[in-house]
Chain A
Amino acid sequence: MQPNDPILKLRDVQVHFPVKTGVFKRVTGHVRAVDGVDLDVRRGEVLGLVGESGCGKTTLGKAILQLVRATQGTVTYSGEDGETELTSLDDAGLFRFRKRLQIVFQDPHSSLNPAFTIFGSLEDPLRHYGVKTREERRKIVGDLLEAVNMRRESMDRYPHEFSGGQRQRIGIARALSIEPELIVCDEAVSALDVSIQAQVLQLLMELKREKNLTYVFITHDLSVTEYLCDRIAVMYLGKIVELCDAEDLYANTLHPYSEALLSAIPVADLDKKSRRIVLQGDVPSPVNPPSGCPFHPRCRYAVDRCKTEVPELRRFKSAKGEHMAACHLIDQPLAE
């Protein structure tokens, strides 16, 4: 197991939700939330998954954890005991792998059960994974809370007594409780105040170093990904349009969508103010994605070819390893 080996391999993952309409609930179409994603998550890296709402990033995160089952394609986990195709397992079979993969949620208000104390919320998973006695569980929960810079005694208090940032830290403690190898952070800092955001980001980075974690960091905030991530995958309408080293995305943007996305972000630096590229229109509906390149109706470079032909993710030259983009108009792809 080398540090850069893939811990997860996603091959042609598709998640389609049926759309039912009318009195008889007939299936009239499918929301193509995730529409054919190939992706490797490397052990020990922070992979950013960015895109706008509706681009399928959250669904992809849940499909990794098997909280949403892929309608097609495979998610393969490789660990000490070889490779396992998670998508082919049933709930009982998944049980062993639940321990390896965890998730931290966006909304600190709904991510903890309001009817239970912190200990009550955190102890059940532990019991589930064989920590038999109450004393042991209390010790583990206390240690976890200390690991996320909270006081041990907090465990006997209720979620409403904590602020958003504290709750988010408790959410992280919960995800850590069964010692996972990979954590999916679904907009983990987006709902927090800016001054608290930095605390949580730093905590996540410390924990990663200490516990050798791998993160899949789902967010719409590119400033955070640039700071935090090693590699970034930009998603648009269920597809990955660009995948590259984090610094490359800014220094050497290839896809027109990434370009527009980057330029649209308000930058808190008066000297770095650049002209924003304003995209026309809205993200098309994932029920009826446009033909050809999904981005072509909003793309300012689009040519006829973009309307008919779906671009493949191609490999391009980069100083920082691989740089993939799905666009017909970029020159010089590397031959395989």
Chain B
Amino acid sequence: MTDANATRPRTRRDAQFDKIRDREAALAGTRQRTGRFMSKFLNNRLAVVGFVIFAVICLMSLFAPLIAQHDPMSPNLRAIAKPPSAEHWFGTDKTGRDVFARVLYGGRVSILVGLGSALLSAIIGVIIGVYSGYVGGWLDWIAMRISEIFMSFPQIILVLLLVAILGQSLLNLIVIFTLTGWGGIYRMARARMLSIREEEYVQALRSFGLGPARIAYKHMLPNALGPIMVNITLSTAAFILQEAGLSFLGLGVPLSIPTWGNILNAAQDLRVLEQNWWIWLPVGATISLFVLSVNFIGDGLRDATDPSQQG
């Protein structure tokens, strides 16, 4: 023995290993399956929590007229920039409008824009990407070029164009987000398809003479759902934030309509940022909470679609 002191130091992980080993030794032969069940339950619990938050925010926005006691649009000159109170839960903004009511009503537009455009672009991207990725050939080539055009086109110019032609509106915003957003999901779906296409079960289905649409949509798509779900949740978050930016520039939803983005824009004013925290903090927190909950749901859905994660 050259170095008696070279014995490896015990780490925190060693203690953890000991615990696992002892538990297994105690359970030897009884063939318990608690471990996997617990972890599965925990996984699902996050998704459930996400879903609850998501549902609460959605429902509150939906039933905003029943919950909010104030009109989100009408200014109250006697209560300008008041901190939270029993009357105004989240305080009032610089024109005396109730922030709580504005957050509720704003959620209606923001969620619609964010989730709506994410789902629409996902649907378009998946429909095109799954088929063209599997079939390949000229169809794939054309779809690829179109997506490149849309993705390389500056979004802001597209918005200016559409606003100039059709005027400012919510629908235009969704259309623009969908047009510029489908390319990402299309490319991801297509890339997944290209790798799944080489799997032997796809070859087997072909050898049975099944049609390409059936193979692509029924048999291959479920294996590509995981990353697509995650992408939808991420783009929902991105769209909500983009909506805020465009609205601020006066190109999105008109400033008079409350949206989460519009409300948050008040924080552009340094004085508001420093002194009137209640104007931007609650709405900021709501956005974060909502985006987080959507992400949890995405994770949960991904696990649910992956059977190897189930017990």
Interface residues of chain A, those whose CB is within 8 Å of chain B, are 62, 65, 67, 91, 94-95, 98-99, 101-103, 105-107, 110-116, 121, 124-125, 128-129, 158, 160, 171, 174-175, 178
B208 touches which of A91, A113, A116, A178 (Cβ 8 Å): A178
- Choose, from B68-76, B198-206, B252-260, B267-275, the stretch at the interface: B198-206
Q: Nearest-CB distance from B144 to chain A (Å)?
A: 14
Residue contact B208 to A114, C-beta cutoff 8 Å: no
Residue contact B208 to A105, C-beta cutoff 8 Å: no
Residue contact B207 to A67, C-beta cutoff 8 Å: yes
For B198, the closest partner residue in chain A by CB is: A110
Q: Which B183-199 residues have a C-beta within 8 angstroms of A? A: 199
Given A114-B307, A114-B308, A115-B307; A128-B210 close (CB under 8 Å): yes
A residues near B205, Cβ cutoff 8 Å: 124-125
- In this complex, the member of A111, A129, A175 whose beta carbon has the largest number of chain B beta carbons within 10 angstroms is A111
Residue contact B201 to A128, C-beta cutoff 8 Å: no
The CA-CA distance from A305 to B199 in the complex, in Å, is 44
Q: Nearest-CB distance from A157 to chain B (Å)?
A: 9
How many pairs of A and B residues are in contact by the CB < 8 Å rule?
72
Q: Nearest-CB distance from A17 to chain B (Å)?
A: 14
Residue contact B207 to A128, C-beta cutoff 8 Å: no
Taking residues whose C-beta sits less than 8 angstroms from the other chain, chain B's interface range is 20 to 34
Residue contact A107 to B200, C-beta cutoff 8 Å: yes
* 14 extra interface residue pairs, beta carbon distance < 8 Å, beyond A91-B209, A113-B223: A65-B207, A94-B209, A98-B208, A102-B208, A111-B200, A113-B219, A114-B308, A115-B222, A124-B210, A124-B214, A125-B210, A128-B208, A160-B308, A174-B204
Q: Nearest-CB distance from A113 to chain B (Å)?
A: 5
A residues near B209, Cβ cutoff 8 Å: 91, 94-95, 98-99, 128
Main SS of the interface on chain B?
helix
Given A116-B222, A124-B218, A158-B308; A110-B200 close (CB under 8 Å): yes
Given A98-B209, A113-B223, A128-B209; A121-B218 close (CB under 8 Å): no
Q: What are 5 A-B pairs at a CB distance below 8 A? A: A65-B207, A113-B201, A113-B222, A114-B308, A128-B209
A residues near B222, Cβ cutoff 8 Å: 113, 115-116
A residues near B218, Cβ cutoff 8 Å: 124
B residues near A95, Cβ cutoff 8 Å: 209
Residue contact B307 to A160, C-beta cutoff 8 Å: yes
B residues near A160, Cβ cutoff 8 Å: 307-308
**Does B305 sit within 8 A of A, measured CB to CB?**
yes
The CA-CA distance from A106 to B200 in the complex, in Å, is 8
For A96, the closest partner residue in chain B by CB is: B209
The CA-CA distance from A121 to B205 in the complex, in Å, is 9
B residues near A62, Cβ cutoff 8 Å: 203
A residues near B214, Cβ cutoff 8 Å: 124
The CA-CA distance from A105 to B203 in the complex, in Å, is 9
The CA-CA distance from A91 to B214 in the complex, in Å, is 15
The CA-CA distance from A157 to B69 in the complex, in Å, is 54
The CA-CA distance from A160 to B305 in the complex, in Å, is 14
The CA-CA distance from A174 to B200 in the complex, in Å, is 12
A116 touches which of B206, B207, B219 (Cβ 8 Å): B219
B204 touches which of A94, A99, A105 (Cβ 8 Å): A105
Q: Nearest-CB distance from A219 to chain B (Å)?
A: 16
Residue contact B199 to A124, C-beta cutoff 8 Å: no
Q: Nearest-CB distance from A244 to chain B (Å)?
A: 29
Q: Mark B284-308, 1 if CB is under 8 A from A, else 0.
A: 0000000000000000000001111
The CA-CA distance from A91 to B307 in the complex, in Å, is 33
B305 touches which of A65, A112, A115, A175 (Cβ 8 Å): A115
A residues near B310, Cβ cutoff 8 Å: 158
